[in-house]
Amino acid sequence: MSGNAEGTEITTGLRRVVSIWGSFTWGYADVGADVYVALGLVAMAAQGATPLAFAITGAVYMLIGLAYTELASTYPVAGGGQYYTLRGLGDIFGFTAGWALLLDFTIDVSLFALSTAGYINFFFPGLQHQPWLAIEGLVVVVFLASVNLRGIRESSWLNEVIGAVDMVSESTIILFGFLFAFNPSFFAHQFVTQFPSTHDFLYGASIAIISFVGLESISQAAEETLRPATVVPRTSLALIFTVVIYALSFSTLGLGVLPWQVIAQNQGDPIAVLAHHIPFIGFIAGPFTALLAATLVLASTNTGIMGYSRITWSMSKLGLLPQWFSALHSKFRTPYRTIIVFSSLAALQIVLASLSSNAYDTLGNMYAFGAVSGYVLVMISLIRLRFLDPDSPRAYKTPLNLKVTYRGDTVEVPVLGIVGLIGTVAIWVLVMWTHAIGRIAGPAWLVIGWAFYFYHRRRAGLPLLGTVARDWETEQREVLRSAGEHRLLRQYEAALARRQARQAAKVSQEEAGGDE
């Protein structure tokens, strides 16, 4: 990597300053906050079957999570799903995954900035409508963009504090709720008598996937995480378990305490309304949860900004976007151009969504498309990288593998990866079928991206549909060395040496056969 001649920027690497707790809270701040936003949206569609909608998408999320855990610990670099897809499928697919996830991250920022305003307005009901929500959301975006311009250490500290307080508070609400407020008969009654139509249920299930978007954040921060091959598996697996438990608990508790209509009518602050109806602690739990939710959703907005700034920085380094995006600030070493450009796009999305009848639903429609489109390509890449790159040491490997022989080598095919691919494709089909806005705006976003990609590649003299030749072995060595993963580096060197020895032996046998 080379420096830049401009006095205000450099293009050297990112700082490794994120700890194990910081890595966990980057993901938790994103995924843990999603239920605060998704519960009302899912209840509006899935009605009495809301917990079932969360359970179905939660199962798929766990499979996606296992794939991300393996990939992020094997390739601990900024870029996440875009980088894995590029290595597994090539440049055009890597760009497509990255561009789809960029839509996801910008929608994350705009949707969660509005949700931050919604929970704050629990204390100011008169402001719980447009244009006040949009104005407050824009203020949130500007504030967090400024924080991220200063650096990930400051951003990570914000997430770590909020994440710790929120986990204690959420656990308290769930415990008191099930002990003193949950009514099993009422829950069963709603599930049986308020089951939605097939279309509405499937729409609710496809919306519920936004409760489980966040592992990408851990992957994006992998290049700035200390000892990532060791840390990322621990944080990712803990996050998968924590988030699924919370999502299922809140959706189940909600329908055992309140009619689904009440939850659906309070899309801006559903968890605060639920907490307010819990005996003994409701008088304080409602306001406290609203305040806490506002801070956690604020942290999720923060992770979205970190996500699109790192993914565009990575894409520009790899030739998928112009080098202009890869510039780092000389003082803070942050990709300030990407932060400014895509924060502006998120602000524009807030303005446009506020013109619709339901800004939350409008943004949620598009949120699911970007996430699931990227996940489909990531799951394919997980499987293909097992064949293309069997030598890279995998600190964590997705369970249940089937050994096959491929070109003389033994390759472990991830069975759960195949199941996860089927699940993500199924959800993608649901999104395209049930999301009226997403099936138009989502593909339009991809078409705009492809046009920009071809324009950039032509100007840069790069192949339009082909893939640039890269020395992945040298890069993998450098990644492991810079991450301090010396044990894995030695394993990688040994694996490469064994492969070279096998190739040399094969050549010798062929030459010997030719001489005969």
Whether 11 is covered by a domain: the verdict is no
Whether 184 is covered by a domain: the verdict is yes
Does 444 lie in the same domain as 489?
A: no
Does 497 lie in the same domain as 438?
A: no
Q: From residue 380, give the alpha-carbon distance in Å to each of 403, 417, 424.
A: 18, 8, 10
How far is Cα of residue 74 from the mean position of the Cα atoms in its chain?
17
Does 504 lie in the same domain as 430?
A: no
Token duo for residue 67? 């794939």
Does 435 lie in the same domain as 493?
A: no
User: Which residue in 290, 369, 487, 410 sits closest to 105, CA to CA?
Assistant: 369
Q: What is the tens place of the pLDDT at every residue in 253-312?
A: 999 999 999 999 988 788 989 999 998 888 888 888 888 888 878 877 877 887 788 788
Does 350 lie in the same domain as 498?
A: no
> Which of 434, 449, 464 is at the close of a domain?
449
Q: From residue 277, give the alpha-carbon distance in Å to each of 97, 263, 270, 271, 495.
A: 42, 12, 11, 10, 59
Whether 163 is covered by a domain: the verdict is yes
Does 504 lie in the same domain as 439?
A: no
Can you list the alpha helix ranges (DSSP code H) found in 277-414? 282-317, 336-353, 359-388
Domains in the chain: how many in total?
2
Whether 48 is covered by a domain: the verdict is yes
Whether 468 is covered by a domain: the verdict is no
In terms of Cβ atoms closer than 10 Å to its own Cβ (0-12, 13-18, 19+), residue 514 is exposed
d(CA 506, CA 516): 16
Structural domain for 268, as ranges: 26-307+336-377+423-449
Q: What are phi and psi of 343, to 5 degrees?
A: -70, -35
In terms of Cβ atoms closer than 10 Å to its own Cβ (0-12, 13-18, 19+), residue 516 is exposed
Name the DSSP letter for residue 6: S
Please list, in sequence order, all residues whose beta carbon lies within 8 angstroms of the beta carbon of residue 505, skipping any fewer than 6 positions away.
Answer: none
Whether 279 is covered by a domain: the verdict is yes
Does 359 lie in the same domain as 491?
A: no
Whether 383 is covered by a domain: the verdict is no
Whether 395 is covered by a domain: the verdict is no
Q: What is the pLDDT of residue 280?
A: 83
d(CA 169, CA 106): 28
Q: From residue 191, give the alpha-carbon distance in Å to each of 43, 121, 196, 274.
A: 12, 31, 9, 18
Does 219 lie in the same domain as 147?
A: yes
d(CA 427, CA 442): 15
Token duo for residue 115? 């949700």
d(CA 298, CA 179): 30
Peptide bond into 131 cis (omega under 30): yes
User: Which residue in 342, 73, 112 sits closest to 215, CA to CA?
Assistant: 73
Q: What is the pLDDT of residue 400?
A: 93
The whole-model pTM stands at 0.84
CB atoms within 10 A of CB 453: 21
Does 276 lie in the same domain as 149?
A: yes
d(CA 428, CA 420): 12
Q: Which CATH number belongs to the domain containing residue 287 in this structure?
A: 1.20.1740.10
pLDDT tens for the chain, 516 residues long, are 333 333 333 334 445 555 566 667 666 766 666 788 889 999 999 999 999 999 999 999 899 989 999 998 899 887 788 999 999 999 999 999 999 988 888 988 998 899 889 889 888 888 778 888 899 999 999 998 888 877 655 455 666 777 778 888 888 899 999 999 999 999 999 999 999 999 999 999 988 877 666 667 667 666 666 777 778 888 888 888 888 898 899 999 999 999 999 999 988 788 989 999 998 888 888 888 888 888 878 877 877 887 788 788 888 888 999 988 877 777 777 788 888 999 999 999 999 998 888 888 888 878 888 888 989 999 999 999 999 999 999 989 999 999 998 877 788 999 999 999 999 999 999 989 988 888 898 999 999 999 999 999 999 999 999 999 999 999 999 888 888 888 999 999 999 998 888 888 877 777 776 655
Does 202 lie in the same domain as 70?
A: yes
Does 265 lie in the same domain as 189?
A: yes
